[in-house]
Chains A and B, each alone.
Chain A
Amino acid sequence: DTGVSQDPRHKITKRGQNVTFRCDPISEHNRLYWYRQTLGQGPEFLTYFQNEAQLEKSRLLSDRFSAERPKGSFSTLEIQRTEQGDSAMYLCASSFSRDAGYNEQFFGPGTRLTVL
């Protein structure tokens, strides 16, 4: 399977714990994105990388959230001191972009986070 993969698919944690999610993009894609989706809503942008550089972060990305893409390949999203409001589907997407105008993003299956 050469699509975007995410791990784990489901995570249940207690409030206050830290969690980390991993995303492996399509291999030739240089851009990687993180989105959050809650029930009945469309995905909301969190952050994105071009190669290993984090180029943009949303206001939704509080200080408890951090994302990395250390070698320009896979990425991790960490949430520290989780809160019940963090419960959502976390989606990763990737694209190959030569310039800012080409942005066909392909999504992974998502990680469903439940904070008790």
Chain B
Amino acid sequence: EDQVTQSPEALRLQEGESSSLNCSYTVSGLRGLFWYRQDPGKGPEFLFTLYSAGEEKEKERLKATLTKKESFLHITAPKPEDSATYLCAVHRMNYGGSQGNLIFGKGTKLSVKP
């Protein structure tokens, strides 16, 4: 069964304290792995897409990497405004007619204290 597991569930950091969030996946043929940021009461905001092992993408203080079994979201010198829930999702190969849906993890709730 396709599965996406994110860890830790919650992470508290001091401003400037770098860390990493983990997304491990078990999926029948990965088409793409996506990272989203979600603020309370709002829809997910797209951050990155990764398509193949070894790929890396960066945006401001965030850097996403991908291996064959997991992805990491590295946060360098975080600021309080980085506080949010970070969601990981996978898009799998088109078996049995499924073409479109993303399979999401439960997310990591990040809190950055000043």
Residues on A close to B: CB < 8 A? 4, 6, 31, 33, 40-45, 48, 50, 55-56, 58, 91, 93, 95, 97, 100-101, 103-110, 112
Contacts and interface: CB of A to CB of B under 8 A. Distances in A.
Q: Is the interface on chain B under 10, 10 to 19, 20 to 34, or 35 or more residues?
A: 20 to 34
Given A56-B98, A103-B91, A45 B46 contact: no
A107 B37 CA distance: 11
A103 B102 contact: yes
Interface in B30-62: 31-32, 34, 36, 41-46, 49
Nearest to A102: B32
Nearest to B100: A48
A76 to B, nearest CB: 18
Contacts of A95: 100
A8 to B, nearest CB: 14
Contacts of A109: 42-43
Contacts of A112: 41
Given A42-B104, A42-B105, A42-B107, A56 B43 contact: no
Nearest to B4: A42
